[in-house]
Each structure stands twice: as C-alpha cells, then as structure tokens.
Amino acid sequence: MTIAHQMAVREKPERFAWLNGEMIAALGAGALIITAYLIGAAGFGTASAIVYLLAFVIGGYAKAKEGITETIRSKSLNVEILMILAAIGSAAIGYWTEGAILIFIFAVSGALESYSMEKSRKEISALLDLKPEEAWRLKEDGSTERVGTANIRIGDLVLVRPGERIPVDGNIQGGMSSIDESAISGESLPLEKGRDDDVFAGTINLSGALTVRVNKLSSDTLFQKIIDLVEKAQSEKSPSQQFIERFESTYVYAVLGVVAIMMVLPHYLFGWDWTNTIYRAMVLLVVASPCALVASIMPATLSAISNGARHGVLFKGGSHLESLSSVKAIAFDKTGTLTEGRPAVTDLIVREGLDRRQTLSLLRTIESLSSHPLAVAIQAFAEKEGAGLLKGIEIRDIPGSGLEANWEGKTYQVGKPGFVGKEEAAEFADGALERLGNEGKTVVFMRGDDGILALAALKDTLRPEAVEALGSLRELGIRTVMLTGDNEQTARAIAKEAGIDEYTAECLPETKVARLKELERVYGQVAMIGDGINDAPALATASIGIAMGDGTGVALETADVVLMKNDLRRLPYASRLSGRMNRIVKQNIVFSISVILLLVLSNFMQVIDLPLGVLGHEGSTILVILNGLRLLKSGD
C-alpha cells in the first residue's frame, strides 16, 4: 500500500472521530428522551417514565461510573456526583424531562471532553502509527532480509525503497532522494538528501532508493525521543490545573451544603411551597457545579503540548509550558547551541603567484594524516573545492605543534603561528592573522622552504537560523545572553555576529550557574538553553531548562523543554504558544465563573428554569473545551 493510499484510508474515519462510545450513548439517550416525551404526550405516563429511566441509565452510565470510581479512589466528592444527584432530584420531584435533558447534555459535554483529550493526544497516536516496526537489512552478499527494527544494530546497512518510511536514524551511504520530514520537524517541504546526509526514523523516502547506515538503536532514535517526552508531558499537570483540582473537592462540599440549606430555608423565609423550594435547590445544584471551571485548563494544556510536539518543541510537563511566556531573559550556551559545534573553513588565503587548487591539494594531503577537528574541517573544505590528494608525500606528526611533510624534495610545515614562525605569520597577507583573530577565527598556516604559502581560517559557525531566532526573541521583549567557555575575543565576535544582547566569556560550569542566579535576580524567570554535559548544572538551575535535540543524554534528562531538530526558531514559537495557552486558560476561567454567578443569581430570582440552567451550565462547559481545542491549530 502506498503512502498516499494509507493517508487516504486514514483520513476518512477522522471525520467521525468525535463519534466515540460516550457520544453514541449520549445520542442514544437523546433519542430515548424524544421518544419518552412523545409517549407521555400520547397519554402513556408509566411507559414514558420507563423510557426516561432508560435514558438516565444509558446517558448517565459513563459519567456516573467515573464519578463514583473517582470518589472511592480519592475519598472526596466531585462534579460528576453533583450531576447525578441533580438528575435524581429532578426525577424525584416529577421533572423527568428536565432530569433526562440534564443527563443528555452532561453526557454530550463529557463525550466532547473525552474527544478533546483524544484529539490533543492524536499526535502521539499518529506518531506511534508512523513508527516503523520493520526494515530491509542488507546482507553481506547484497541481498536483503526483513527484520524488526528492534533487531537492527548500529553499523547495519538498511535499504529504503521509494514510498517507504525510513525505519532508523542513520547516514545515507548510497542514493539520493526527497525526504518528507514533516513528522519530525513540521517542515512541509521535502528536503533533498544524498550521500553523508542524516535521515531520521519515521520520515518518508519520496523518490529514490537509499542505502542507510544505522547510527542509533531504535530505542534511541529522534522519533522515539519525541514519543517518550510527549507521553511524559501529558501525564504531568500545570500549577493552575493542580489548584483547580484541589479547589474542586472543597467547592463541591460547599455547593452541597448550600443546596441542603436551599431545600429548607426558602420555604420558611420566603413562603415558597415545598415543590418550588426543592425544584430551586435542584436548579442550584446544576448551575453551581464547577464543570466548566474544571474543564478550563486540561484540554487547553494538552492541546498546546500536542501543538508544540508537532512543531518540534517537546515540553516535559504543563508547568513548563505555562511558565515559558513569563521568561524575560534566555541564556544561551555557544558551542552546539548558537553554533554548529564544529569548525569550518571560512577563509583561505594563498600567496600571490601560487596555484590555489594545487596549494589546497598539498594542504589537504598533509592534513589527511590528522583526525584533529581543524584538520578534518580543512579536508572537508578542500574536497568540496575539488582539491585532490597528492601521491608520494611523506608526513610526520610533530606533537603539540603541527605536521611536517616532504614532497618532491621540499619540506612543508602546517600548524600554528608559533610552529611556522610568529613574525612571518603576523606579516603574511598584510597582517591577516590579526584581523582574522579579531573575528574569533583560528588560523592554520602552511609554510614551505621559501616562506609561508597559505593560511586557512576556521571558525565554529553560527547556526543558519540563529540570527533570525534571536531577532524574534527581541521582538517579544526577551533579553538574550550568551554564556561560553571561549575566550573574550571569540565570545565578542560571535555575540556581535549573532546579535546577542550581552555575553560572559571563559565560563566554567559553576560560572554559568552563578551568572544565571544573577540574571534571575534581575529578570525573574530566566531560561537556559544548552546541549552539553557542562550545561547540565545551568539547565537545572534555570527557571526553565531547554536542551537541543542532539544534546547529550544528561542535558536532555535535565532539561524541561527539548528542541528537536535543534531549530532555534522554535523558541519564539514556543514562547508565543505559551502566551496563547495562558490567555485561553484565563478566558475560560473568567467565562466559566461568570456563567456560574449569573445562573446562580438568576435561580434565586426565579427567572431561570431547570432546562435553561442545564443549557447554560453544560453549554459553558462545551464552549471552554472547544476554546481549549483552538490550541491544536498553528498560529501566533
């Protein structure tokens, strides 16, 4: 079955996802209410009462079971118990229709709340559906065998055919293709990938066949990280949700106490007859229940967590999501966070009169002996420039200094200024060494028998999205701070290039912790983002710790938020998402409390009957749930 066909098959049932078991029971109860009303209108009162009773049982079973089970577990009453008592009380005084309508609407709102929870969790179920369980492993003779991804080992080669999901995290060893990574990064456009490019489990190979070398076990893939972290996040509650749940039990007892007084006092105080007194008590029991208030937070929080997961931001709990919008300053590690974490050649200066490609070939050949990160970067740059390797060259490693080589009777040296001659290095190319050093670059020289031939300047380059992300954070009023172990010169150059508001250089792990505490005294809530083991203490100290998705296990474990795909542009998105969630939660709380007060007042003034009370109360619950579901949609 092709990917397109799978998506088409999956899309049709999604239209009816709201039709869960609770909703079917609620609709069944609604049909029975209409039937009972028609039977009663025809003069069959007893039969009508029996059908109403069936509507009570079918519509109220799920919520009654939930309420009773939770009451036994927590040894405290809840809103479900209030609704059950209100419905029974209405029927007891002869208001079968009103009681049945209460059960019906309460069942509908409960079904919608269950749907909203499932809707907010659909990112996880969708991810689990997309998680590949099998792969085509290449054998030594070139044939393939179908194996479970759990049996794939690091270093294995797997074949991914066009239209298949990539089963592992790995590196392309052969083939080129367009890769749909929307399940991982949220990026809608496919990416063109070829040899040596990384691919991730769960993404789709759209065109050419690929041979991929596995570099992570199935349990450690980026895809599995997303699933694990979002599942953990959905099990944790925000401070607001915890408060509401503590408040609910106390509020329920208060309502029951007021209702008990209401069932007696108005008869003697205002002269109401007993039927009207009990009826008004039942209306109060309905309209004063905090259903909408209880539903104000959790659907919104789960929706926002799912939204973030879909866009590459994983929150480990609702509390971190709730707090992020109040952050006024973010501290950044440099290496691997603001920068790529590996050096790259930015400048190559060759002495006038020499052939650039021939000189670069000589430099590449000499550096080919070394596995030093600078040497690896020079080799990669030379290969990209089309400079080949020379033959017949003898190379020696001079520990702590550099490399020395003999080729065609001449001697060459590659290394730092002190190795090739400080004075000559300083004068080469009109003092390029000083200029490049001021830009935070490391300079490697190549010297021949007749002087310096070339220099290569290297730098840990900024991530392509870093400047854009930092600019967006400034627009949100967030101050940016860089904490780095690099020297003052390098730190200043990177801070200027990135547009960082302030920086601190030569930081040890304890220095970062101390600096964060200073920032918290000035700005209050402060976030820290990093990727290394040395960042873990700072991540733990910060109000919110944020880790890069490719960071160390310690950083990922310590952090409260994880940026999958290492995309810093997700930071402003996450901050705006937090702000949206907090606004919607506040809207829900204000709205639900206002509706409760209005309905309670209307009941005391006897201007509202039970059916309208039911509609107002349960309607407000449905509205706050739907308002929370808006967070499933992208947007600022």
321-365: pLDDT as tens digits: 888 999 999 999 888 888 887 888 999 999 988 999 999 999 999
Pick the CATH number of 340-461 from 3.40.1110.10, 3.40.50.720, 1.10.3720.10, 3.40.50.1100: 3.40.1110.10
According to CATH, the superfamily of the domain at 315-339+463-575 is HAD superfamily/HAD-like (3.40.50.1000)
Q: Helix and strand tally (H, E) in the chain?
A: 25, 22
pLDDT exceeds 70 at position 232: no
Quick check: is 333 catalytic?
Answer: yes
Q: Which residues are paired to 339 by β-bridges?
A: 462
Q: Annotated catalytic residue: which of 169, 333, 460, 560?
A: 333
pLDDT exceeds 50 at position 11: no
pLDDT band of 6, cuts 50, 70, 90: very low
Q: What's residue 571's pLDDT?
A: 92
Cα angle at 158 between 152 and 159, to 5 degrees?
150
By mean pLDDT, which of 23-32, 125-134, 511-520 is the weakest?
Answer: 125-134
DSSP class of residue 76 equals S
| Lookup result for tokens 């490697």 | 444
Q: Phi first, then psi: give them for residue 456, nearest 5 degrees.
A: -120, 125
Residue ranges of alpha helices (H) inside 368-448 are 373-384, 417-420, 422-438
What angle do helix axes 239-262 and 274-287 make, rounded to 10 degrees? 180
CA gap 97, 414 in Å, rounded: 92
Give the mean model confidence (pLDDT) for residues 121-129: 52
Residue 401 Cα to chain centre, angstroms: 46
pLDDT band of 233, cuts 50, 70, 90: very low
DSSP class of residue 139 equals P
Q: Where are the domains of the chain?
A: 16-122+233-304+578-632, 133-224, 315-339+463-575, 340-461
Q: Phi first, then psi: give them for residue 498, nearest 5 degrees.
A: -85, -25
Do 304 and 552 touch, CB atoms closer than 8 A? no
The class (CATH top level) of 133-224 is: mainly beta
Amino acid of residue 79:
V
| Lookup result for tokens 């402060």 | 526
CA gap 621, 293 in Å, rounded: 8
In the chain, the percentage of residues whose pLDDT exceeds 90 is 22
For residue 66, give both structure tokens. Answer: 């939930």
Bridging pattern class, strands 410-415 and 402-407: antiparallel
What does the pLDDT look like over 364-386, one tens digit per residue?
Answer: 999 988 877 888 899 999 999 99
CA gap 409, 82 in Å, rounded: 96
Do 569 and 472 touch, CB atoms closer than 8 A? yes
CA gap 210, 167 in Å, rounded: 12
For residue 462, give both structure tokens. Answer: 């900024």
pLDDT, greater one: 13 or 258: 258
